[in-house]
Amino acid sequence: MAEKVFFSVSMSLDGFIAPESHAVGVRAMEGFIAPEKHRDDPDVRRWMAQWMELQQWAFPLRFFRENLKLGEGGEEGHENDFARETFERTGASVMGKRMFDLGEQAWPEEAPFHTPVFVVTHTKRDPWERPGGTTFHFVDDGIEHALDQAREAGGDRDVRIAGGGATILEHLNAGLVDEFSIALSPVLFGAGTRLFDGVDASKVALEPVRSAPSSRVTHLTYAVHPR
Domain boundaries, the chain: 5-18+76-226
- 10-residue mean pLDDT series, the chain (227 residues): 86 92 56 52 81 90 81 84 91 94 83 94 93 94 96 95 94 97 95 93 95 92 95
Q: Which CATH class is domain 5-18+76-226?
A: alpha beta
pTM of the model: 0.87
Question: Among positive and negative, which fits the CA dihedral 135, 97, 33, 84?
Answer: negative
Spatial distance between the Cα atoms of 18 and 10, rounded to a whole number of angstroms:
9
pLDDT value of residue 1:
47
Q: Which amino acid is at 11?
A: M
